[in-house]
A and B are shown apart, each in its own frame.
Chain A
Amino acid sequence: MIDPITLQQGTDWRAQAEVFDEIFFVFLTLGTVIGIIVVSYTLWNVYKYRDDGSEPDEDFDAPVVGELPTGQGGPKAKKLFLSFGLSAIVVISLVVYAYGLLLYVEDGPDTGAEGDIEITVEGYQFGWEYFYPNGHSEMNELVVPADQRIDLKITSRDVWHNFGSSELRIKSDAIPGETSETWFTVSSEEVEEQGGEATYLVECFELCGSGHSAMKGQITVLPEDEWEEWYADTDGDSENANSSSIEGDLANPSVTGSAVGGVSA
């Protein structure tokens, strides 16, 4: 099992996608192997003990109509418990292993002095609106810097949505009156690989009405300096940020103490 502590080194941050891919690989491999063993064993036995028309053995104790059931225990029951015990060990150890990584995913990497950026995502029929710490809001395109931990606070202004990006392996429910959280980070290497601007598809994963199928958005990741330039320019339209229909505690996107680390424009 990988110790979550070792994951919390700034440069070695593991994106949720990496964690997911690792667990998925382990589960898929074990699941396939166990599935093949169990199914083959079963098929082989079913073939072996087929009724091929030969005379029944002397000791074949055929059931008769109207008998009360027996066979509550017997030698096969031992085998039953052996198989049961083995499968229980596999299942429980898999889940304990996965649980260790869950704790990492829940907390996210430690940002230390770097700070993180907290963005409120608000789902609506049918799109997403993003509120930045400076009050700026964007419709449908989330623009964020590379190498930073991005914290998302997700809610909805009408029905239940689910904000998710398959490529980044992030997902969270957007529920009216509730705020859920998730986080992600994209490395600058990844941004460079995609040609200086990495983009990821955002989809809605909870049925939310007639436009659910088309409720798509995009996450755009820029190199840190380019993003800071972009972000500085957004200050001008911060007055418009609250023009949407949001009410209550959503009206002022929160700016946490460390939220603007590295963003001093």
Chain B
Amino acid sequence: MSELPPTTSVRRWLVTTNHKDIGILYLITALFFLLFGGVLALLIRVQLWDPANQVLSGLAYNEAVTAHGLIMVFWFLSPFGFGFANYFVPLQIGADDLAFPRLNALSYWMYLFSGVLLGISFFQGGTLSAGWTMYAPLNVPMYTPSIGSTGAVMALAMFVIGVTASTVNFLTSIHHSRAEGMGIMDMPMFTWSMLATVWMMLFAFAALLAVGLILAADRVLGSVYFSATEGGSLLWGHLFWFFGHPEVYIVFFPALGAMLELFQTFSGRRLVGRKWVIIAICLISVQSFLVWMHHMFLTTINLEIKTLMMATTIGISLPFDLVVFSLIYTLMKGRIQFTTPFLFAFGALLLFIVGGITGVFLGAIVLDYEFRGTYWVVAHFHYVMFGGATALFGAAYYWFPKMTGKMYDEFLGKLHFVLFFIGFNAVYASMFLGWETPRRVFEYNPAFQLFHQIGTIGAFLLGFSFFIMFYNFLKSFVSGPDAGENPWDYSRTAEWAVPSPPPLENWPNRPSYASGKLEFVKDYVPDGGPAVKADENGNAATDGGDSHADHIHEYAYWDKHPSHASIWPLALSLATGIMFLGLSGFNDSISIGVADSLATTPVTISNPVYPALTVIGLLGLVYSGVKWGFEDFYAPPAEFAERWPFNGVEKVKLGMWFFLASDVIVFGAFISAAVFIRYNAGWREWAPLTDSLPGLINTFVLLTSSFTVILALVAAHRKSRTGLLASLGTTIALGLTFLAIKMWEWHHEIYDVGVTIAENSHGDPIQASIYYVTTGLHGVHVVGGLLIAGFLFYRAWHGAYLEDERPVEYFGLYWHFVDIVWVFLFPLFYLF
């Protein structure tokens, strides 16, 4: 642990784990990517000025279109919302920080370096040119051979890893650290929206992670999933849109949360039908996973499924209706103040209404058939996603005084809004007028040229308006008037009850809503003992009312001060970035010859840079991971907190459960892919590639190791160091046995039978790919588990875990999960 340097020091921003600092980092980085994606958008608009003249080549245009989409959706919209979430969710729920501060810093650095990777991919022979939807098989090296295409895929995979960490963090924080008295229905609407967002992300991004890993395997390892004619293209469509549709709400909900917040503050009214809005938001989150095939109406799915998807699609529009009406009625009888934040939030509502109505058109399948692949779709989703993001710019003006302590310039803000709103509608309304133009086509029908030219002019106006915002924020940050604690007349949420900007640990004393409104209570902390909850008068209460206080003694570090600085999130992310950069060119730098065994296989390295980067990154990853593990970093648990529905579940355990839930989806996607492809190939056409015996032995080995992990926990609980070491050691030995058998089996398949990841002398190559990639992913999980087990063993050797056996328990959860996955893989690959 190191001390946190002051904000003026560059080092501060490299080591900080404080949620407010990281929020600022997210916001600035996201705005940078807004510029990056915006410049690409302007390139597209210049190309569209005249259907005959071309500024970019066909390939370069496709790269611009692809990168614009990827950057705006992944590297701008979501992180911009998460910047605010980082800063304000802990403040709104009365927490000191997020549940896992270092993990939060890790998410940010993963995000930043993944964006850097995407930037680098432009210089690796051109970035991906397959569209942000990356339809198969255009996304495999046969059709997009540049190293940069792989670079972009690796960047996306890295981004998703960071997102997963962030999702687990927010879920744990919101479910674990709400101030006393703040029930789940009492949470501010922005926090509610974020909670729904992260719940969707937990499952949706897991699907994207799976599909990204499979694509990375296709591009780096040479598997043949997405070029398989046994349903490879449709597999991509299903997995991508299973993620892709919830993603629409994932990027929209933070903006919706801002709208709900700002409408209340600037009208002085409380949200109408609040309970029903929350229910609607929850319904949308669930329904979002049931509509994905409406993106695939023109593929070969049958009428029954189309009908079902049409019904669910219309179904999901209804809760949105309710939310929109609630927003409108909230304004009525209010005292509406037309400040810049309100204008943006209100503008977002108007744009969203247009996006919503045009979306109903797409729900009617006959219309969808014709709109598919046209500018109608482009216009619609910009009205929804970018229209929604309009509220996030409102949020930027709304919270700017809180984050900086300075007031922005109201005139410049309003000017920004006017230009933004005119520019926005010029770009996207013109797209509705020229909707018959196919997407991603620049040699379009000259009849639509006028509309596209209006769009281009609007785009430049829209782009220009942001420079007013940047100027406004910079000037106000340097020389704006002091904003004070609460510059708004009708604000309600807790962030306005502390100074601007808030102090490092947010609160003067422990925030509590136990009395029905926010109060700061002083708890009595006896020397070396647990805190005693204060009563309403600020006196220490003799009987702690919260059951969780009973667990407090389990935390060993009483007198410790919370940590706010660690360099290891940055180091770990940098190492991952280097490794992923190396992997992007791995396939092009190494050629592996044919031989009889691994030992005699000739390996030719044509370009040592990428393999070297891979190795350096991997070593750095392991090193910083170990340093992270040994770092003395203290993130105190919230002592008296509302935890419904996870009362009594400890913080790290809750985080582990959330992580495992997302991992279930990852494996679920891999297994679904295997089943889907096999079904398309003809289920009975395939017989197991391998002997069932090694798989059977491995099943017993793994199941036994699950048992020894339980023994380890029992031993730790009984404070038996020997027992703990013996059972942990046995677990490790069994894990290594599993891997050894696995290696023997693969070696046998590759060198004796002639089945490799891309070739199968006995049948479809895709069957071999599925076998290696799916069991390989499981193998990687085993290796990861063994690394953690090795770490635990080392700590246990030095006497750890006898007082507090929970790390052993949490490792056990992970290990059992890995074993359970194998129980599903074994019959799939060895028996049937």
B-binding residues in A (CB < 8 A): 16, 19-20, 23-24, 27, 31, 34-35, 38-39, 41-42, 45-46, 49-51, 56, 60, 62-74, 76-77, 79-81, 83-84, 87-88, 91-92, 94-95, 98-99, 101-102, 105-106, 125, 158-160, 162, 164, 166, 169, 171-173, 175-180, 201, 203-214, 216
A-binding residues in B (CB < 8 A): 57-59, 61-62, 65, 129-131, 135-138, 143, 181-182, 185-186, 188, 228-234, 264, 267-276, 296, 298-300, 303, 307, 310, 314, 317-318, 321-322, 325-326, 328-329, 331-338, 346, 349-350, 353-354, 357-358, 360-361, 363-367, 369-370, 372-374, 436, 438-443, 445, 486, 489-494, 496-497, 513, 516-519, 680
Contact status A207-B370, CB under 8 Å: no
Chain B residues with CB under 8 A of A23: 364, 366-367
Chain B residues with CB under 8 A of A16: 369
Question: Distance (Å) between the CB of A169 and the closest chain B CB?
Answer: 5
Task: Identify which of B185, B186, B298, B496 gathers the most chain A CB atoms within 10 Å of its CB.
Answer: B298
Contact status B325-A63, CB under 8 Å: no
Chain B residues with CB under 8 A of A39: 350, 353
Contact status A95-B62, CB under 8 Å: no
Chain B residues with CB under 8 A of A160: 135-138, 233
Contact status A20-B367, CB under 8 Å: yes
Contact status A162-B372, CB under 8 Å: yes
Chain A residues with CB under 8 A of B268: 51, 60, 62-63
Given A95-B314, A164-B373, also A72-B273 (CB < 8 A): yes
Task: Identify which of B135, B232, B443 gathers the most chain A CB atoms within 10 Å of its CB.
Answer: B135
Contact status B335-A176, CB under 8 Å: no
9 A-B pairs besides A23-B364, A72-B273, A176-B229 with CB distance below 8 A are A20-B370, A23-B367, A24-B370, A83-B321, A91-B318, A102-B366, A177-B233, A210-B58, A212-B58
The 8 A-B pairs of least Cβ separation, nearest first, read A205-B373, A66-B518, A177-B229, A71-B270, A98-B364, A72-B275, A210-B58, A210-B59
Contact status B272-A80, CB under 8 Å: yes
Given A27-B361, A39-B353, A177-B229, also A74-B272 (CB < 8 A): yes
Instruction: Sample 24 A-B pairs with CB under 8 A, ordered by A number.
Output: A20-B367, A27-B364, A42-B349, A49-B267, A50-B338, A51-B336, A63-B270, A66-B518, A67-B492, A72-B275, A76-B273, A91-B360, A94-B364, A98-B367, A125-B143, A158-B143, A159-B137, A176-B137, A204-B438, A204-B441, A205-B374, A207-B130, A209-B143, A214-B443
Given A20-B367, A49-B267, A177-B229, also A68-B181 (CB < 8 A): yes
Complexed CA–CA distance, A237 and B234 (Å): 35
Contact status A68-B517, CB under 8 Å: yes
Chain B residues with CB under 8 A of A50: 335-336, 338
Complexed CA–CA distance, A35 and B353 (Å): 7
Task: Identify which of B130, B307, B338, B367 gathers the most chain A CB atoms within 10 Å of its CB.
Answer: B367
Question: Distance (Å) between the CB of B287 and the closest chain A CB?
Answer: 14
Chain B residues with CB under 8 A of A211: 58
Chain A residues with CB under 8 A of B363: 95
Task: Identify which of A31, A101, A209, A212 gathers the most chain B CB atoms within 10 Å of its CB.
Answer: A212
Complexed CA–CA distance, A105 and B365 (Å): 10
Given A63-B268, A63-B490, A166-B436, also A45-B373 (CB < 8 A): no
Complexed CA–CA distance, A206 and B233 (Å): 13
Contact status A171-B369, CB under 8 Å: yes
Question: Distance (Å) between the CB of A53 and the closest chain B CB?
Answer: 10
Contact status A178-B130, CB under 8 Å: no
Chain A residues with CB under 8 A of B275: 72-73
Closest to A24 in B: B367
Complexed CA–CA distance, A205 and B268 (Å): 48
Given A42-B349, A158-B143, A180-B298, also A49-B333 (CB < 8 A): yes
CB contact between B321 and one of A45, A69, A84, A98 (< 8 Å): that residue? A84
Chain B residues with CB under 8 A of A84: 318, 321-322, 325
Contact status B182-A68, CB under 8 Å: yes
Chain A residues with CB under 8 A of B365: 98-99, 102
Contact status B366-A20, CB under 8 Å: yes
Contact status B364-A95, CB under 8 Å: yes
Chain B residues with CB under 8 A of A31: 357-358, 360-361
Contact status B314-A92, CB under 8 Å: yes
Chain A residues with CB under 8 A of B303: 106
